[in-house]
Amino acid sequence: MLSMLRRAWWKKDKLTKYQNRHVREIVKYAYENVPFYHEVFRKHCIKPDDVKGVDDLRKLPVLSREDVQNNALQMISKKFDVSRLKRVVTSGSSGEPVTVYLSSGEDEFRKARHLRANIALGQKPRDRWIVITGPQHFSESTGFQKLLGLYVARPVSVFEDERVKVSTIQRLKPDVLDGYSSSLFLLAKEAEKRNAADIKPRIIIGGAELIDDFQKRFVEKVFDAPFYDQYACSELERLAWQCKERSSYHIDADSVVMEFIDENGENVAPGERGEIVCTSLFNYAMPLIRYAVGDVGVASNDVCSCGRSLPLMKLLEGRKDSFIVLPDGRVIAPHVLCLFMEKFKFFDNVEHYRIIQRRIDFIEFLVRMKGDFAEEAVKEELASHFRKALGVTSKNLTFETRLVDAIPLDKSGKLTSVLSEVSW
C-alpha cells in the first residue's frame, strides 16, 4: 500500500519507465503462456520484441468484449489452474456480460489498490465505512484489513428497500458513505423525504455508473458532504478517480495503460474524445491487453493542483443510464436491474440483453442467447425471476421477453442495457 501511495507522486519520466517495463513484461508473458494471445500475435506477425513500451501497444489489435466472451478460457495463462481462480462475471451494464478470471493475489491487489483513492480523499484507517453494493461484493475487504480492523467496509445491500437502507445507515453512522452512484442518489431522495438529518458522512464516494451534476449536488446537499466520483469496470476494477480538487480523474497509470482511440483505431490527441482502451499491468492469470471497456473519455495534459503526477482524464457519459419507476412508486436504478439479471438462471448463456420500460406497468426484455434455448422456458423463468426480485405480481407489472438475433444500438451507438420511456 505504501508503494502504491508513493507511485502517485512519481515524476512523469519515472512513471513512464515503469509503464514501459511492465508493458514489455506482460506482452512477453502473454505470448509465451496464453494460447489466445500467442495465436493473435502470430496471426498479426507480431513478436514480443516488437513491443518495447506503451507507444508500441498500437501495433496490437484492440480486444473487444465479444473477443473475451468467445475466448475466455483460451485467455487463461497455462501457468494457472482455472479451478483455483476467482471467476468474475460482469453485470452487463453495457448489455454484454463478460467473464474474467483472477488469481487470489490479483484479487487482493485490486482491493488494496482501491484504497489509494479513498485515502487520498481523507479516509482514515478506523473510519466507519459503509458501502451500498450487491451481496456478491460483501467479502471485498482483504484478510489483512479484517485481521487488523483497518479500512474495513460494512456492506448494505443495494437490493434493500430505500426506507430500510436509510434506517440502517442512520444506525451505523458512517464517516465514509460509498456505493453505486445511482443508489446514493435514491438514498438521498429517501433521506430528504424522511428528514434523516443525522446521516452525516465526512466523505461520499460514488461509482459503477454516471449520474449528472444535478444529482451529485443533490446528494451533497442532503448529506452535507462532498461527493467524489470513481471510474471502474468489473473486468479491471477501479481505473480512475477524483481527488479533492475534483477537476478531472487521476488514471491509475501504475497498474493500467489507458488509450483513447478514434473509430479508425488511432490514438486521439489530448482534449479529443476517444474510446477507452486499457492494458492491465497486473493481470497475469488472464491478461487483458488493449481491451475496449465500452466507454468514451478525453485524455488531458493538465496537471492537477493536488501535486500528484498520475495522468488525468475527463469521463464522458458513455453509459446513459436511466431509472425505472415501478407502479407502486419505487424507483430502481439501472445497475440494480443489471445485478438482478446476473442472478438469472440462464445468465451464463446470455450474450446480449436489454431491459426496456415501455409503460409504468410494462417492461420488455430483449435477449440474445448463446446457442438454442426454448423461448417459452426463458420467458417464463425471466418473468418469474424479476417478479420475485422486484416484489411485484403479474397484476400490476407485465413482462414480455423476446429472444432476438441482435440487440440494436441506442442513439449513442452503444449496447445500452437499461432504457426507460417513462417520465417521472
Percent of the chain with pLDDT over 70: 89
Residue with cell 448494505: 156
Q: Which domains does the chain have, with CATH numbers?
A: 1-319 (3.40.50.12780), 324-420 (3.30.300.30)
Question: 275-311, pLDDT tens digit by residue?
Answer: 999 999 999 999 999 999 888 889 999 999 999 999 9
Cβ 269 vs Cβ 261: under 8 Å: no
Q: What is the spatial distance between Cα 218 and Cα 235, in angstroms, rounded to a whole number?
A: 30
CA distance 397 to 391: 10
User: Residue 422: pLDDT band by 50, 70, 90 thresholds?
Assistant: low
Pick the residue with more confidence: 202 or 147?
Answer: 202
190-235 pLDDT per residue, tens:
999 899 999 999 999 998 777 767 778 899 999 999 999 999 888 8
Measured from the Cβ of residue 141, the count of other Cβ atoms closer than 10 Å reads: 20
d(CA 243, CA 114): 13
Q: Helix or strand or coil: residue 382?
A: helix
The amino acid present at 245, given as its one-letter code, is E
Please give the helix or strand (H or E) that residue 378 lies within, else none: helix 375-390
In a 3-state reduction of DSSP, which class is residue 281?
coil
Amino acid, res. 46: I
Sign of CA dihedral 409, 411, 414, 415: negative
Q: What pLDDT is recorded for position 257?
A: 97
Question: Tell me: the pLDDT tens digits for 89-108?
Answer: 876 555 567 889 999 999 88
**Which residue in 234, 142, 172, 211 sits closest to 155, CA to CA?**
172
Q: Is the pLDDT score of 129 beyond 60?
A: yes
Give the pLDDT mean for 15-40.
97
SS3 at position 198: coil
